[in-house]
Copies of this chain bind each other. A is one copy, B any other.
Amino acid sequence: MAAFKNIKLLFVPLRIFLNKTPSSLQLNLYRFKYNEAYSVKSVLLDHPVGSDVVVKGWVKSIRKQKRTTFMHISDGGVEQIQVVIPSSACDEDCCFNSAVEISGKVVVSPKCNQPVEIQGEKIKVVGKLDLQSFPFGPRKYYPPEYVRQQIHLRPKTNTYSAILRLSSLISNALQTTLIQDNFVSVFTPILTSNDCEGAGEVFLIRPSSNEMCREMGGNRKPEESYFNKKVYLTVSGQLHLEAIAGGISKVFTMGPTFRSENSRSRRHLAEFRMLEAEIAFCNDLQPILSTIESLVKQSAKIILELGSLDLVTVGNYYNENLEESLNELLKFSFATISYREAMELLLKNRDSFKTPPRDGADLGSEHELFLVNHMGGPTFLVDWPANIKPFYMRTSDDAHSLVSCVDLLVPGVGELCGGSLRENRYDILKSRLQALNLEESLNWYLDLRKFGGSPTGGFGMGVERLIAYLLRIPNVKDIVPFPRTPHNCPM
């Protein structure tokens, strides 16, 4: 029996040993046949030594010797595979970053870090590359500003494709963490006739076609033709999320939000992703803080577990040891400090800042980063003055000039997250809405307090900023595939 097992070993694909069979094998089987037969990962995991395979991918490096050519092939997964092929089989079309299909045999790799490689027999170039005008060369460093100029070709670089894979792990970790914690995932609307924060920095929409505007709006203005009123791109799904939290006590949404700000900072985009969560029956900031902390830490944990190779690639590019910084983050218990305490600290150190802090006012980026350094890591800044925060935040029971809210500040980025308890007392909210002239447009929101509205609380987290923080990427434009900023929307 033992001998039989050993004989079989050579013919059994690696996946079986790693116990990585797909969870619903039956449905996956026929798909497997088509989509995965050629993937680099599948060759490494599923095909025993000696089997004939076809590998499809891009040539990430190529070294032609007189008789033999060595290549590394990537199909966009983490793993690359080495191919050794007679040079006579390669014509000049087969070059750096061309798309190829290589047929050959799986053989034991003599010295590579991978257990197997491909002994290539035939190669077919299915996507040629114009090497003269291709903006990237092999094994060269290009600064982010240069890479950003080639935005549609950026996914072909090793660093950016690693960032995309890690971003995928992070956004998936965020959702999975909440779903395991019994949150329900919902879609809040992008188009809204309300402007949640009241800040006015919104985009307005209308049908592009004048004909459609006339057909639908008659004599109304084009921007009021389709919906009979002005409609904007959302700046936050929070108010709508609160309505849903009137029936389901833990909900979240992850989607795009928009700001028409004229900002060129390395932390701002006109279009960015927010993870927003709302918790009913919440009359204390604590569950909000702990949910935020666990989301940040679970994301760190997942990329450490599943993205280690990519962390090295990104870390090398930015000169950071990401494994070290992420492990440090996991060990750090997030600090909590009140606005009052923070302000005293800032005022004591007023000489360290370009713009001195002002008691009662919002903080600048330099103040945020000072606080984070002082506290030694991510810091919850709680209990802010009511007059610099939005209308929906709950007045503190202890001090009426304060609201129960939190900003999470993190190293390198500053504000990552904002959250609060919501004002659920009908009369107080009503008078605030009246004062802001919002009583009519937000009457539905006030209504929620009339019909079994529990105390609720929630938060919004900038997804690109979380990625920037975890991967130590200085500029959020190097995270989203197609960043939108003032004067910049090329495609």
Chain A interface residues (CB < 8 Å from chain B): 22-24, 27-28, 30-31, 34-36, 38-39, 41, 56-58, 75-77, 97-99, 101, 126-130, 133-134, 152-157, 160-161, 164-165, 167-168, 171-172, 175, 179-182, 184-194, 200-209, 212, 215-216, 226-233, 239-240, 243-251, 255-256, 258, 260, 262, 270-271, 273, 279-281, 283-284, 286-287, 290-291, 294, 297-298, 301, 424, 441, 444-445, 447-455, 480-482, 484, 486-491
Asked if B30 contacts A486 (CB within 8 A), the reply is: no
Asked if B481 contacts A240 (CB within 8 A), the reply is: yes
Asked if B451 contacts A156 (CB within 8 A), the reply is: yes
Interchain residue pairs with CB less than 8 A apart (28): A24-B298, A27-B294, A31-B181, A34-B286, A35-B181, A35-B287, A56-B249, A75-B281, A76-B251, A77-B249, A97-B451, A99-B453, A127-B453, A129-B451, A161-B247, A191-B271, A201-B207, A201-B212, A203-B205, A204-B208, A205-B205, A209-B260, A216-B487, A227-B484, A227-B487, A240-B482, A243-B481, A256-B256
Q: Within 8 Å CB of A215, what residues of B? A: 262
Asked if A184 contacts B76 (CB within 8 A), the reply is: yes
Question: A301 contacts which of B24, B126, B165 (Cβ < 8 Å)?
Answer: B24
Asked if B286 contacts A451 (CB within 8 A), the reply is: no
Asked if A491 contacts B194 (CB within 8 A), the reply is: yes
Complex alpha-carbon distance, A137 and B398, angstroms:
38
CB distance from A280 to the nearest CB of B (A): 7
Question: A192 contacts which of B34, B281, B451, B489 (Cβ < 8 Å)?
Answer: B489
Q: Closest 8 CB pairs between A and B?
A: A155-B247, A76-B248, A99-B454, A56-B281, A207-B260, A34-B287, A227-B489, A204-B208
Asked if A452 contacts B128 (CB within 8 A), the reply is: yes
Asked if B156 contacts A97 (CB within 8 A), the reply is: no
Asked if A206 contacts B203 (CB within 8 A), the reply is: yes
Q: Within 8 Å CB of A57, what residues of B? A: 249, 281
Q: Within 8 Å CB of A449, what residues of B? A: 127
Q: Within 8 Å CB of A453, what residues of B? A: 99, 127
CB distance from A289 to the nearest CB of B (A): 9
If the complex has contacts A172-B179, A451-B134, are A244 and B192 also in contact, measured as CB distance less than 8 A? no
Asked if B452 contacts A290 (CB within 8 A), the reply is: no
If the complex has contacts A193-B490, A271-B191, A482-B189, are A160 and B247 also in contact, measured as CB distance less than 8 A? yes
CB distance from A182 to the nearest CB of B (A): 6
Q: Within 8 Å CB of A450, what residues of B? A: 128-130, 133
Complex alpha-carbon distance, A231 and B489, angstroms:
8
Complex alpha-carbon distance, A60 and B185, angstroms:
22
Q: What 7 new A-B contacts, CB under 8 Å, besides A187-B273, A204-B208, A212-B262?
A: A38-B281, A76-B245, A99-B454, A191-B489, A200-B208, A203-B226, A441-B491
